[in-house]
Structure 1
Amino acid sequence: MATFKYKALDQQGREIKGSIEAESQNEASAKLRGQSVYVLSLKRAGFGINPFRWLLTLLSLLKPGRYTSPKAGDKVIFFRQLALMLRSGNTLTQGLEISSEMTEKRTLQRAIIDMLVRIQSGSSFAAAVEAQGRMFPPVANRLIASAEMTGELQLTLERLADNLERSAAVKRQLMSSLAYPIVLVLVSVGVFLGLTLNIIPKFATMLEGKSQELPAISQAMLDVSAWMVDYGAMTGSIFLGVIFVALVFYTTRPGKAVIDRLLLNVPLIGSSIRISGMAQMGWTMSMLLGSGLTVLESLRVMKAITGNMRLAECYEKAGSDILAGRSLAFGLQQRPIPVMVQHMTGIGERSGELEHVMTELGKYYQQLTATRIKAMTAAIQPVMTIVVGGMVAFVYIGFFRAMFAVSAG
């Protein structure tokens, strides 16, 4: 006996669903007609299951994305939602409670609930945010602490969301500018290794026992391939070892300071890091100054959130110069800081519109980052095409010259 699921209409025209046991589909249909119902659909239970559809259904129920770390976009949505709820008349605790229900990422949801519990226990919102560690950027608790004193929490949350969006956009632009040349270099290395370790050795085997003298380019091709076969593994191991040591060294504070300083001097990469850093400084300083923080406090926040330690050292020195009675423009007169930033900062200080000047600097350097990415992509593509094409041409010319030499002999 098999089980069949059906959908039918009873004598009153109502739709009914159920299952029935029968030897075949025809027998099941006959049984249902005997019950004075009109069969709409009838199918055997347990068959026709699509494994792919079942897997998609399972993933939609489990939602594995909920367990990943929250991205900048998740935090932007949280701050915007909270600002909207405060604007609508909800209290902070009500806003946090609703946000915890609307947030999909479990890590962020736990952080919101923890902040809610702390606030209900008498903690300030800024202290609750700071207690979440690296969940939120250091600038968040500084801004929120200032907003709690001035009563502009809703406006500050909106500014914070805007700043996170801009910072994420600058990082995406920077990563895209670095990703393209890295991919091209990896492709070039892959082509070179494939030619020297796979194709050319087979060609060299064909030429064994030939007494003819090979052309210079063909002999050079065979020599390079032979060297790679003999010493390539050792050279690759040393190279990977150096990379590993450099990465470990970069995890230490002295190592990060040294490597960050070196990166600023690397062609193309250094200028991209410097330009994106100035975009971040412009937007963030504008937001901090507009939220009521002093220039010195803003520089301390910039030092904490800046990824490149050399730029962080510049902000620290600028803060020390301000404590000594000097201007911000004087403090920013350091080598990694562009001259334009120094001059514009001085103009903003003299005119009393430093916040506006920082906003304009953020806009300018963010646009410059996008322009630089396009220019760099346009410059690198033909160069790498020539490099890869040159390697392939070197192999094929050497191959055909050797074949002509052997044939002529």
Structure 2
Amino acid sequence: MSAEKELARAEWLSHADTRMVMDTLGVGARFVGGAVRNELMGEPVSDVDIATADTPERVTELLTAKGIKVVPTGIDHGTVMAVTPSRHFEITTLRVDVKTDGRRADVAFTGDWVEDAKRRDFTINALYADADGTVHDPLGTGREDIAARRVRFIGDANARIAEDYLRVLRFFRFHAWYGKGEPDADSLKACADAREGLRQLSGERVRDELLKIAAADNAGAAFRQMAAAGILPIVLPEASRLDRFEKLVGIEANQLFTSDALLRLASTLDLDAAGVAALAARLRLSNRDRDRVEAMLTDKTKIVAYLSIKEVRKALYLIGVQTFKDRVMLGWAEDRPGHNTFQWRAMLAMADSWVKPDFMLTGQMIKQAGVPEGPEIGRVQREVEEWWVDADFTDDEFSIIERLKAVVQATVY
């Protein structure tokens, strides 16, 4: 197919807000990167990025005059964000790298589309499209690699990686999401050779890439390739359970579950609470994510495929829905492939529909039963609650009160 207006039928391209932004920027602007790549590959398009020969100041002037909100997200690197009712557009001035240190780059603006393309990471990310959908391949290699689903660096792979060592992880991420067959040999060798440079990167950047790799359908192969290249021991040395990880990825794919990147990443680990804390500090996990990982890896509740309905309800009450579901998925990944699928799925379904019952016994009721103020109230309440849970959350108030009386008579007087 001719490149002329090739993307003209793309929904995102013809959207009213997209048209408004592109019309405002004029002929010096083109779509770039992921939107063009994914549309050509038949993949979903989320972010729509734009490149322009205009300076950030001129872009801001044009958009503001049109009443479009502009946020200077990376003005030193030529990037602003256009905010419209339907989506945000990242708009970046064409640029060349002046100086790089493996983590960041100093840039200069240019009007040369070829020079802008040369500074990008992979050939499949160096395609542009006009507002009418006409595709441009300034380097002459992107279209061929997109057709072959081949991920490879632009020009000298070693030079591209030296500009930003995060590109090592990005290579595995893009191959996991878009590649076909074995990784490009030259790119893979360059990544392996540059692996020590990954130690320069911040925990946040490494974390984000690891989670993006883990979310891919081909994440299992990607992690194995990273391990073989000596890269995984640097960025995730705790990953000792790739076998469980690969099984979990397969389960989510086969059962048509939405991929859960944090669960997948945690499945590679076999850590105690201290180990999780150290990992979380290094990768700058949020407190919420750290607590979730710690819970799923350290909880000792018995979770097996043959749990009774009563046992499932008890586990849900004691550890909560999220930890229960995480433990179920990890248990499923430990099970023999193809075994107990119905049972594991049934437990997940129960968790999704479960409503936590209210324990109706209050501190006031316990005091009325003769328990004095102080820690005894909490102890008695816990004992009665344990009985109530074992009784499958009976809603018989008379039985609960009778149990309260029995506990008080046996342990308080």
Please give the range of the TM-score, normalised by the shorter of the 2 chains: under 0.3
Q: Which has the larger radius of gyration?
A: 1
What is the TM-score of this pair, normalised by structure 1? 0.23
